[in-house]
Amino acid sequence: MSDQVKFLLSEKDIPGHWVNLLPDLPGDPVPPLHPGTKEPVGPDDLAGLFPMTLIEQEVSAEPEVEIPEPVRDAYGLWRPTPLYRARRLEKALGTPAHIYYKYEGTSPAGSHKPNTAVAQAYENARAGIRKLATETGAGQWGSALAFACSLFGLECEVFMVGSSYDQKPYRRSMMETWGATAHRSPSDLTDAGRAQAEHTTGSLGIAISEAVEVAAKNPDTNYSLGSVLNHVMLHQTVIGQEAILQMELAGERPDVVIGCVGGGSNFAGLTFPFVRQVLRGDAQMRFVAAEPAACPTLTRGVYRYDFGDTVGMTPLLPMYTLGHDFVPPPVHAGGLRYHGDAPMVCGLVRAGVVEARAYRQNETFAAAVEFARHEGIIPGPEPAHAIRAVFEEAEAARQADQPRVILFGLSGHGHFDLSAYDAYLAGTLEDPEFSEEDMAAALARLPEAPALS
């Protein structure tokens, strides 16, 4: 069928392994550092927060890691996810480009986040842990982990960034439906939350500090992170592996692969299997990471060691950062309001393999609305950033009158983000300014650590 729009796989095509890009990354490995000794962290340093099997995945040098059968079984609830060709959008944009998108919004929680949530809940349950504590921005990660904990019999406690807690009350209802408890962050339940009470909108960094504190103080509780760490990138690579098969079904290869970046996990999940082909010399492709202009980590941050959280409880991670206590303005793409990014994604930006671009809130919603009017799906505010970048690529192809195959990650739907769409449609959506002054002040407070090359 020449005008096919959906490229579908069957359950037997759910990948049997995850792709570990660590051994293929260019340059020497840059390890996370212990915040006290400034020495590389060892497995024991992380054992209070994570089960050993996840720590092993975090540092694994194996190019492929087998997916445990119970996790693959759980993936069967929604995977493989569909790949679409955006034929109607192509026509509306008058572009010769072919635009494809891999849609992760068909998962129970509505995004890519359950891909790692089920893997993490499974390993923690197997290790005899009773409860997982975590943070959530827009509520996507919190609801994914709540869902995953319900599958594997774990309790789940979620610290939700204050601005999102107020904007997205039904995300809390979802978490509670799956049996989790959700708190507005900063809360008065932790030392970290009490210390940050003046930042009433909250931030991912503050919420992480609260969840890490709960896990560190309770032996039967572990911490679970929805992005940034290597094992999270690893779990998400089911997305790109399926996309490779689906692009083969479509008979095309992408020229450019685009994703939004908050902590980097959906971007890594879609791109890393393709990046590996490029790093091994088997393909040529560009990769574009899209982020908010209000929180421009990859485009404006410095490449340094910094804490993953605001209070300074985590190891020092090598990454682009705006400073661990920089509190980004409250844009609706709550999942992109993070001061740092995954070290693996940052390393690829540093090496010039991945290009980063930043977009303002109104231009991303304009792209999302146009997308919805032609393709039907209402995108989450986070992947709306990727769509903005797709529009640029499609326009460049039109101006050059060149065919171009664009693949992007539609990491989730926006059904719980309709207040943001309301504001956009009413013309009241703001483009909050990123504060140079606040960033400079936060960068002045970066921890002492060896310089990165």
Ligand X SMILES: Cc1ncc(COP(=O)(O)O)c(C=O)c1O
Residue 291 CB, nearest approach to ligand X (Å): 9
Residue 111 or 361 with smaller CB distance to ligand X: 111
d(CA 289, CA 357): 6
Q: Which stretch binds ligand X (CB under 6 A): 58-66, 258-266, 353-361, 425-433?
A: 258-266
333-362 binders of ligand X (CB under 6 A)? 335-336
Tell whether residue 240 is a contact of ligand X (CB under 6 A): no
Q: Which of 314, 383, 391, 408 binds ligand X (CB under 6 A)?
A: 383
Q: Which amino acid is at 435?
A: S
Tell whether residue 116 is a contact of ligand X (CB under 6 A): no
Residue 77 or 441 with smaller CB distance to ligand X: 77
Tell whether residue 138 is a contact of ligand X (CB under 6 A): yes
How many residues make up the chain in this entry?
A: 453
Q: Which of 116, 265, 321, 361 binds ligand X (CB under 6 A)?
A: 265
307-336 binders of ligand X (CB under 6 A)? 335-336
Tell whether residue 297 is a contact of ligand X (CB under 6 A): no
Tokens of 209: 């500090």
Pairing outcome for strands 405-410 and 256-260:
parallel
Residue 95 or 320 with smaller CB distance to ligand X: 320
Q: Which stretch binds ligand X (CB under 6 A): 37-45, 120-128, 262-270, 347-355?
A: 262-270
Binding mask 391-420 for ligand X (x = CB under 6 A): --------------------xx--------
Count the neighbouring beta carbons within 10 Å of the beta carbon of residue 28. 7
The residues near 125 (Cβ < 8 Å, ≥ 6 apart) are 152, 153, 154
Pairing outcome for strands 286-292 and 256-260:
parallel
Residue 38 CB, nearest approach to ligand X (Å): 27
Residue 42 CB, nearest approach to ligand X (Å): 26
Instruction: Give yes or no for a contact between 240 and 32, defined as CB atoms under 8 angstroms apart.
Output: no
Instruction: Give yes or no for a contact between 98 and 406, defined as CB atoms under 8 angstroms apart.
Output: yes
> What's the helix, strand, coil split of the chain in %, to 5?
45, 20, 40
d(CA 261, CA 421): 20
Tell whether residue 260 is a contact of ligand X (CB under 6 A): yes
Q: Which of 286, 260, 296, 272 is closest to 344 using CA atoms? A: 272
Q: Which of 7, 101, 103, 141 binds ligand X (CB under 6 A)?
A: 141
Tell whether residue 137 is a contact of ligand X (CB under 6 A): yes
Across the chain, which distance is largest between two alpha carbons, in Å?
61
CB-based closest residue to ligand X: 335
Q: Which stretch binds ligand X (CB under 6 A): 189-197, 212-220, 380-388, 423-431?
A: 380-388
Tell whether residue 124 is a contact of ligand X (CB under 6 A): no
Give 234-293 as a DSSP string: HHHTHHHHHHHHHHHHHT---SEEEEE-SSSHHHHHHHHHHHHHHHTTS---EEEEEEET
d(CA 452, CA 191): 32
Contact residues: ligand X, CB under 6 A: 111, 137-138, 140-141, 227, 260-267, 335-336, 380, 382-383, 411-412
